[in-house]
Homo-oligomer: A and B are copies of this chain.
């Protein structure tokens, strides 16, 4: 418990959707009705005629998105601790054909418009020796657990437009961010200036399914080729599509995220009550907190699992809640801490 939202199982309703899709013959490679349904649900959720591609992992979604927006000789500006930088084994470099990731800093893993503009200003298409930025990538929720408000995204998008850059959002925890920001999917994406979104479902209840959502046609012509070439076009495509459809159907995705966020807020309270400092804003379903060794030990003894934060100094740990986090788990953590 608490190690990651990807240690949770799939939500029964999503598995049920998968099971329902397992009937009879279906055209392969996405020409089936489940795929049409998943795409329709995404377009409805985003209130626009976006292009959609389904893939099984967030790394694939991010790398394909960046490769569609950036030539091999280009560069992507992103935060120093972004998932695409530190946790994807070089997938962005692989998919783009060797584009550079240009790193900027910012509090709680957020990029600020000023930092973005300063970094972009260092390069020029006329100077071939230096980097050639084409895109910006932000994580929503950030790797430190913070959420960009729509206005913050719009400010970054403004810099992007002024500098001729496309804006990618790694929305591995898009649903959690949405619940935190209490806005519509459109407001958090294309209305704020996002060109391509990696829309995550896996961490929030799917088995292995993510959608790349292209707004205004960005990357949409190239991406089907890139996906096929990467081995990410499923032959039995209905099984990806059924997950996404089941995830969106009836607003399940938002319910699950709301639960995860609520549990994180509870857990943060428990940690703070025990005297632990929370390091970043607990905007969504992740908590970063500094614990005494005895506290960490007591939690672990009570069955909690959690990783040290890579960037917040000694004694700082990350806790993640998911759709499957229970009150009992929170209670067990509280009990362990009060005993410590």
Q: Which residues of A contact B (CB under 8 A)?
A: 1, 3-4, 6-10, 12, 15, 18-19, 22-28, 55-64, 71-73, 75, 86-91, 93-101, 128-132, 202-203, 207-208, 222, 224-236, 239-240, 324
A232 proximity list for chain B (CB < 8 A): 56-57, 60, 231-232
Indicate if the CB atoms of A91 and B9 lie closer than 8 Å: no
How many chain copies?
Answer: 4
**Complex formed: what's the CA distance from A132 to B232 in Å?**
18
Q: Shortest CB–CB separation between residue A124 and chain B, in angstroms? A: 12
Q: Shortest CB–CB separation between residue A35 and chain B, in angstroms? A: 13
Indicate if the CB atoms of A225 and B132 lie closer than 8 Å: yes
14 chain-A/chain-B pairs, Cβ below 8 angstroms: A15-B19, A56-B208, A56-B232, A57-B235, A60-B232, A63-B231, A72-B90, A73-B226, A73-B229, A88-B228, A89-B228, A207-B239, A208-B234, A208-B240
* Nearest-CB residue, chain B, relative to A28: B6
Indicate if the CB atoms of B129 and A89 lie closer than 8 Å: yes
**Complex formed: what's the CA distance from A277 to B23 in Å?**
33
A207 proximity list for chain B (CB < 8 A): 18, 22, 236, 239
Q: Shortest CB–CB separation between residue A125 and chain B, in angstroms? A: 8
Cβ-neighbour of A87 out of B100, B129, B239 (below 8 A): B129
**Complex formed: what's the CA distance from A87 to B4 in Å?**
37
A99 proximity list for chain B (CB < 8 A): 90, 93
Q: Shortest CB–CB separation between residue A103 and chain B, in angstroms? A: 8
**Complex formed: what's the CA distance from A91 to B229 in Å?**
4
Q: Shortest CB–CB separation between residue A87 and chain B, in angstroms? A: 5
Indicate if the CB atoms of B128 and A224 lie closer than 8 Å: yes
Indicate if the CB atoms of B23 and A9 lie closer than 8 Å: yes
**Complex formed: what's the CA distance from A132 to B71 in Å?**
18
* Nearest-CB residue, chain B, relative to A7: B25
A100 proximity list for chain B (CB < 8 A): 90, 93, 101
Indicate if the CB atoms of A233 and B57 lie closer than 8 Å: yes
Q: Shortest CB–CB separation between residue A325 and chain B, in angstroms? A: 10
Indicate if the CB atoms of B234 and A91 lie closer than 8 Å: no
A58 proximity list for chain B (CB < 8 A): 231, 235
11 new A-B contacts, CB < 8 A, other than A87-B129, A98-B98, A232-B232, are A4-B235, A9-B25, A19-B19, A64-B231, A86-B129, A88-B229, A100-B101, A128-B233, A202-B235, A207-B236, A208-B235
Cβ-neighbour of A22 out of B10, B28, B75, B90 (below 8 A): B10
A59 proximity list for chain B (CB < 8 A): 228, 231, 233
Indicate if the CB atoms of A28 and B4 lie closer than 8 Å: yes
A61 proximity list for chain B (CB < 8 A): 231
**Complex formed: what's the CA distance from A297 to B230 in Å?**
36
Indicate if the CB atoms of B225 and A128 lie closer than 8 Å: yes
Q: Shortest CB–CB separation between residue A232 and chain B, in angstroms? A: 7
Q: Shortest CB–CB separation between residue A182 and chain B, in angstroms? A: 28
A62 proximity list for chain B (CB < 8 A): 231
Indicate if the CB atoms of A202 and B57 lie closer than 8 Å: no
Q: Shortest CB–CB separation between residue A80 and chain B, in angstroms? A: 10
Cβ-neighbour of A25 out of B1, B55, B88 (below 8 A): B1
| A-B interface, 7 closest residue pairs, ranked by CB to CB distance from nearest | A60-B231, A89-B228, A93-B98, A59-B231, A6-B235, A128-B228, A97-B97
